[in-house]
Every structure is written in C-alpha cells, then in structure tokens.
Amino acid sequence: MAERIATRASYGKALVELGAENPDIVVLDADLSGSTQTKKFADVYPDRFFNAGIAEANMMGMAAGLAVSGKTVFASSFAMFASGRAYEIIRNSIAYTGANVKICATHAGVTVGEDGASHQCVEDLSLMRTIPGMTVLNPADDVSARALIKAAAAYKGPVYIRLGRAAVPVIYEEGKTFEIGKALRVREGKDAAILATGIMVNEALQAAEMLAAEGIECRVVDVHTIKPLDKDEVVAAAKECGCIVTAEEHSVIGGLGSAVAETVCKEAPCRMAMVGVQDVFGQSGKPGELMEQYGLTATDIAKAVKNCL
C-alpha cells in the first residue's frame, strides 16, 4: 500500500527548502501556521515569517505590498478563508497588480472532514479561475505538490495552490517533473478519458482499474493546472476517446468540469460527465464518509464513465 502524506505537509517541507534557496521568500499566515504547516518555515526563518493574526483580508493586502516591493510571498490559510474571505483583495491588490504572491490554501474540499460545511470550501477553484492572470494549481499527491510549489516559486506572478488536510496516497515517484500548464497523462486508454484533479487523480486511477477489469480502457489525466488549462491534452482526450469524465473534490460549477467543458464545446464537442460536489453544502464526517456521501469515490467515477460511454 502506498505511503500517505497530506499535501499541506508537502507544502511545509517545500517551504523550508525554498527558504534556503531564496532569501527573498517571505511567508504569511493567519493564525493557522500549525495546520497549514507554514510553522515549519517560521521555525527556521523567523525573520521572514509574519503572522497576520485572524485577518485574512489584511494578510492578502500585506502580501501584495511585500510582493510589489520585490518579495516572493507565500500566504496561507484554509481554502475557505483564503479564497472566500479575501477574494476581493486577491483580485484587486494581488492579481490586478500582477503581484508575485503564492496563495497556498490548505484544508480545501470536503476532506477537511469533521469541521463541517463552514470550513469545506468547494468553490475556490471556481473563484480563483475567473480572475484574469491567476494561475490555479491543484496537486494530487506529495511529490507533485512539492514540485508544483517549487515551480510556482520560480514563476513570476500570482498563483493559487490548492492543498488538502487529509493524508492521501503518494502516486508519483520521487523526482518526477511537473510543468505548470502541462497536464500529465498517467494511464493510457481510448474508450474514455478521466480528467481528474487533486486528490481525485488517485480515485480516477482506481476507477480505471475497475473498468479495465470489465474491458473498458480509460485514459487518466492529472490536470494539476486548472488555469491555464492544457487545451491540447483536453482536445486530444475528446478526439481520441470520444468521452470525457471530469473528477474534482469541488463543486461541479466553475471548477475543472466547467473549464474542460468550455474548451471541449468550442474545440471538440464530445460526451461529458462531471464527478464533483453537486451544488450542495457539505457536513461533518470522516473524509472517507464524505467522499462517499458526495459521490467522489472511484466507484462513482466508474459509474459516470459507464453512463457516458
């Protein structure tokens, strides 16, 4: 069985490494540094860590000010507060100015678990994707999270990176390379394509295994970059497989499914289905229970593929 690591832990580790490489990296948090793991950086580089207190809007404003003064800023909170509470500051002070701020939002999606709907953000990809110039990343596991966080640090401009609370299986080999904007085909197949993002990549791989046992060969693509979307890979999936199922731990409104549909309907219309949260609020529960409750399991993906064929 694969090792399980939460992508927020990957973040803490990557930050410490980045801090050593780049003295211009500054990290901000809003009283959640233990949970988001920015404390790892704060412990090693206390002079370059600023706690904004429970004031996410001002944290993003300070991040903008630091960034336009030449710093590479990582700003963290839970996805709900980072993308929701601070949305307008992200839009007007960070994105409109092209500020070099990396918003690393942890505890995204329903797998935040027991805290319930108030903390289960399933709208962040949608919110961030509509902002001009914003790059939106959603890594699937520890290896890709660390690689993409480092790629984001090297990239000049605003980036939103979605990270999770729950430990999830490591699916990539150490050292695998990831490029912002380039989706990764992780399984070949021509009967259908499952385009998955974040922790749903693992579910998609399991779904493909189940379907293979029934003679259905699915392509699985890790769409770790929601924006800019890898249109070539999406169009290839539409043309070569004729059927696309998207899978995201996010609302089916505005996230990966919508992004793929926007491209497919213009460039290569094909049958589509979307696995995701169906326009409802979450609730308290264990991450696994919630994945089942909201139809986010490998079984749900396999069912969607069969309905779409």
Partner 1 sequence: MEHTQLQQIAKTVRQDIIREVYSAGSGHPGGSLSAADLLTALYFSEMRIDPAQPALEDRDRFVLSKGHAAPALYACLAERGFFPKEDLVTLRKIGSRLQGHPSMKMLPGVEMSTGSLGQGISAAVGMALAGRLDGGSGRVYTLLGDGELQEGIVWEAAMAAGHYKLDNLCAIVDHNGLQIDGRNEDVMNVMPIAEKFAVFGWNVLEIDGHDFEQILDALEMARKCKGMPTVIVAETVKGKGVSFMEGQAGWHGKAPNEEQAKQAMAELGGEL
Which residues are the active-site residues? 56
| Min CB(51)–partner 1 separation in Å | 9
Q: Which is nearer to partner 1, 130 or 307 (CB)?
A: 130
| Min CB(42)–partner 1 separation in Å | 15
Q: Which is nearer to partner 1, 92 or 293 (CB)?
A: 92
Dihedral sign computed on CA atoms, order 166, 171, 175, 177: negative
Residue 122 in contact with residue 115, Cβ under 8 Å? no
> Alpha helices, DSSP H only, in the chain?
7-21, 33-36, 39-44, 56-68, 79, 87-89, 124-129, 142-154, 200-213, 231-241, 256-267, 287-293, 298-308
CB-facing half-sphere around the CA of 44: CA atoms within 13 A? 18
3-state secondary structure of 118: helix
| Min CB(90)–partner 1 separation in Å | 10
Quote the Cα angle for 148-154-157, to 5°: 95
| Min CB(182)–partner 1 separation in Å | 27
Cis peptide before 228 (omega within 30 of 0): yes
Residue type, 249: E
Q: Which is nearer to partner 1, 47 or 174 (CB)?
A: 47
Residue 244, both tokens: 């696309």
Pairing outcome for strands 218-222 and 192-196: parallel
Residue 144, both tokens: 């890709």
In angstroms, what CA-CA distances link 186 with 57, 60, 73, 273?
Answer: 38, 35, 32, 20
| Min CB(7)–partner 1 separation in Å | 27
Residue 278 in contact with residue 252, Cβ under 8 Å? yes
d(CA 65, CA 77): 18
- Residues at the contact surface with partner 1, assessed by CB under 8 A: 26, 47-48, 50, 52-53, 55, 57-58, 60-71, 88-89, 92-93, 96-98
| Min CB(137)–partner 1 separation in Å | 23
